[in-house]
Amino acid sequence: MNSFFARRYVVTAIFVTLCLTLLVRLFYMQIVEDRYFLASNNNVIRKLIQYPARGPILDRNGKILVQNEPVYDVTVIPHEVKAFDTLEFCKMIGIDKDGFDKRFAKAYKYSPYRTSIFEKQLPATMYASLQEKLSEFPGFYVQPRTIRTYPDSIAAHFLGYIGEVTDRDIEKSHGYYHPGDYIGRTGVEKAYEDLLRGQRGVRNVMVDSRNVSKGRFANGAYDTVAIAGERLMSSLDSKIQKLGEKLMNHKVGSIVAIEPSTGEILAFVSSPGYDPNLMVGRERGNNISKMYEDPYNPLLIRPIQAYYPPGSSFKPLAALIALQEGLITPQTGFECTATYWAGNHPVHCDERHGYTNLSHGIAESCNTYFCNVFTDVMNRNGSKNIRTTYTDWREKVNKFGFGVKLDVDLPNEKKGFVPTALYYDNKFHQNRWYSTSIISLAIGQGELEATPLQLANIECTIANHGFYYKPHLIKSIGDRNVVREEFTKKNYVGIDPQYFEPVIDGMQQVVEVGTAHSSKIPGIVMCGKTGTAQNPHGKNHSIFVAFAPRENPKIAVAVVVENAGQGAWWAAPIASYVIEEYLKGKIERPQEEFNRIMNANLMPELPGAKPALKIVPKADSLNKQKVDTSAKPQQLKSASRKNKTKKDSSMRVLAAAQIKRKDDEQ
């Protein structure tokens, strides 16, 4: 009897064990392991991602700068693929058999049961022929997308470009992005990625065993709608942007134009540039590789990343600091004999200016005058205290946005360079340097370096008599005129308003009778300053900064043309044409001179150098009158005796346009 009961308990235990094992296995298959669920689910419901249209970007007048056009990604679920005509499939999507094998192996490695992208961005014409035979290729599907297109092929560095997400992007997004998605990489596309990308949707479709659609699952109850990205209205004026890019063709440098009363950036030209349409489509990888290899570095965003000595364009700022300190007055004068001796080091002027006051010193760009001013500033507390005095002077320079980031709404902005006292301690040894040791700073040379954006921002400060708004590129988001609060705040530089008038008098004389008199605009009072920035790697850089009109200024401009000589030769006329176009709506001065500037080829000759990639631009939607380009470029006269080009400079000339990596603490 006891044996019977014992056997019963054993059988019951075995039965219970088997039941528990089956239940655990069932739980594992349905809850823990997703392979069977995915396989069965994919046989019934197909989840189609609905990618939203990326938000368009417009100029300040509502002109479209970037929009979208449809393309189609071919996706695959490897587990569902069955035998089919591989060669026919490859022919239809434009790949070879080796390419097919590599793509399929990659998709299988990712997941046999999940959807992954097989081939990207098929144009509508190729998709149309594929769609008719798609049912013959089991396991393959088509996913609609949009890519960026640029109607006028301008402002590539400002707009930026998008690229496929990396593993790091996916991780940082906490699951929002998936392999094959796109994200802003540079420019506005990156800075405003969260607004431009929109929100994805999902459409659930029922399919049978032959992958034929049987309609929407649950009548669309579980579908979500894709929400398009926000529309951004930029501050850019496409008319002067196009003009600036034409004028900088075959030149290396930058144009930045800002509206002083708001800080809105009107023009953002980096040259050499590239057609932004090259950064989309199936040839994008090849195109960007060629640009990386281009020695002229068309991908460098020169307005915010290239460093230049400001040269004589720095002199008005230096004068303002001296006026605020009470060390000079507008009537203070110094005798110019064409050479200023800083100890045993001569600083030359282009000519003997004689007795020179503030306005005349700015108008004629007298080095002697500003070397005397700088010496008085540095020695006001005695030569033994120059370290403290210099640190105070540097802080005043920083308040103008010089040597610090302006926090423009673009990524990867550089801050320029204004040396610290520690830098000179390391260079000359502590307590062993004096005003004569750093006299080059008086005329914007030496270690001083600025970005074109900073140069233009200083002109906004002078135009506003003592303050600036942080430069920015976006005016509104969607239908809302939303501007970040920091862009509406006045940033005062610590100079009393009354000190600006004598400096502006001198800047007006620069254009009326001084170094830039040949760039005077009829009917417009322009105030500016030429700069000839010395370049140890080749010919000097041509620089011009200006604002106009003098009363109620509407535009401030900084132009840098690398290796082009004096500021009056090239930078000044380019800036004047941009200002004239913006204020008058057209250029009224002789077309012959305009053509000479536009057609001039000032590109430094580098071994193996080729111009940046270009494609034929689409029709100019502004319908602007075409400019005669038949005139041949004229050769520029040789530089002055001080600025002879070195024979071996061709290999090193790009150094001035690239970012110099200096220790931030120096």
Of the candidate ranges 155-159, 585-589, 603-607, the one whose mean pLDDT is the lowest: 603-607
Q: 48-234 falls under which CATH superfamily?
A: Penicillin-binding protein 2a (Domain 2) (3.90.1310.10)
Residue 369 reports pLDDT greater than 50:
yes
| pLDDT one-digit tens code per residue, 414-436 | 999 999 999 999 999 888 899 99
pLDDT at 611 over 80: no
| Residue whose structure tokens are 């149309």 | 128
Can you tell me the distance from the alpha carbon of 52 to that of 55, in angstroms, rounded to the nearest whole number?
A: 9
Distance in angstroms between the alpha carbons of the first and the last residue of the chain:
97
Please say if the pLDDT value at position 34 is more than 60: no
Mean pLDDT of 16-25: 80
> What span, in angstroms and rounded, lies between the C-alpha atoms of 102 and 530?
58
Whether the Cβ atoms of residue 602 and residue 563 lie closer than 8 Å to each other: yes
Average pLDDT over residues 315-338: 94
Instruction: Give start-end residues of each CATH 3.90.1310.10 domain in the chain.
Output: 48-234
pLDDT(641) > 50: no
The H or E element spanning position 21 is: helix 2-27
Q: What is the pLDDT of residue 43?
A: 55
Nearest 10 degrees: Cα torsion 528, 534, 540, 546: -10
Closest CA to 436 of 348, 368, 350, 344: 344
Extract the tokens encoding 28.
């594992």
The helix (H) or strand (E) run that includes residue 132 is helix 124-132
DSSP character string of 159-180: H--EEEPPHHHHHHTTTS--TT
CA distances from 516 to 104, 452, 526, 543, 591 (A): 64, 19, 10, 11, 19
> Which residues of the chain does CATH 3.40.710.10 include?
252-271+296-607+620-657
DSSP string, 265-317: EEEEEEES---GGGGSSTTHHHHHHHHHH-TT-TTS-HHHH--B--GGGGHHH
162 φψ region: left (φ > 0), alpha (ψ -120 to 50), beta (else): beta
Residue 630 has pLDDT above 70, yes or no: no
Tokens, residue 290: 């060629």
Fold of 252-271+296-607+620-657: Beta-lactamase (3.40.710)
Helix (H) or strand (E) holding 599: helix 591-599
Model pLDDT, residue 123:
87
Confidence of residue 343 (pLDDT cuts 50, 70, 90): confident
Average pLDDT over residues 229-250: 95
477-504 average pLDDT score: 89
| pLDDT attached to residue 3 | 62
In the DSSP assignment, the letter for residue 613 is P
pLDDT band at 526 (very low <50, low <70, confident <90, very high): very high
Is residue 237 over pLDDT 90?
A: yes
Does residue 571 contact residue 559 with C-beta atoms inside 8 Å?
yes
pLDDT at 29: 61
pLDDT at residue 208 in the model: 66
Rounded Cα distance, 596 and 575, in Å: 15
Give the integer Cα–Cα distance in Å for 357 and 544: 22
Strands, E assignment, 28-125 = 45-50, 57-58, 64-76, 116-122
Tokens of 308: 């230049």
The confidence score (pLDDT) of residue 621 equals 47
Nearest-10 crossing angle of helices 367-378, 315-324: 40
Global pTM value: 0.81
Q: Looking at residue 435, what is its pLDDT? A: 93
Q: Which residue has the tokens 């902005």?
A: 413
Residues 186, 279 contacting (CB under 8 angstroms): no
Whole-Å CA distances, 525 to 210, 364, 548 = 76, 18, 6
Q: In the prediction, which pLDDT does 559 show?
A: 97
**Is pLDDT above 60 for 609?**
no
Choice among 48-52, 62-66, 162-166, 289-293 with the minimum mean pLDDT: 48-52
Average pLDDT of 3-14?
70
The pLDDT, as a whole number, for residue 625 is 38
pLDDT beyond 90 at 112: no
Q: How confident is the model at residue 665 (pLDDT cuts 50, 70, 90)?
A: very low
Burial class (CB in 10 A: 0-12, 13-18, 19+), 578: buried
> Letter for the amino acid at 217?
F
- Tokens 């609905």 label which residue? 50
pLDDT of residue 393: 97
Averaged pLDDT of the chain = 85
Give the 3-state secondary structure of residue 588: coil
Query: Would you state the pLDDT for residue 485?
Result: 84
pLDDT digit string, tens, across residues 195-223: 999 888 888 877 765 556 667 777 777 78
Burial class (CB in 10 A: 0-12, 13-18, 19+), 12: exposed
Residue 32, pLDDT score: 58
What pLDDT does 594 receive?
Answer: 94
pLDDT the model gives residue 634: 35
Structure confidence by residue, pLDDT tens digits, 283-295: 888 899 999 999 9
Among the residue ranges 318-322, 409-413, 613-617, the one predicted with the least confidence is 613-617
Question: Is the pLDDT reported for residue 452 higher than 90?
Answer: yes
Asked whether the predicted pLDDT for residue 42 surpasses 60, the reply is no
Sequence-distant (6+) residues with CB within 8 A of 544 are 313, 516, 519, 528, 529, 530, 531, 557, 558, 559, 567, 568, 571, 572, 574, 575
Given a cut of 60, whether residue 612 has pLDDT beyond it is no
Q: What is the pLDDT of residue 598?
A: 94
pLDDT(191) > 70: yes
Task: Collect all residues with Cβ–Cβ distance below 8 Å to 612 and sequence separation of at least 6.
Answer: 272, 273, 274, 291, 294, 296, 298
Averaged pLDDT, 380-398: 93
- Left, alpha or beta for 476 (phi > 0: left; psi -120 to 50: alpha)? beta
Residue from 55, 49, 50, 58 nearest 155 by CA: 58
Q: Are 260 and 460 in contact (CB under 8 A)?
A: yes
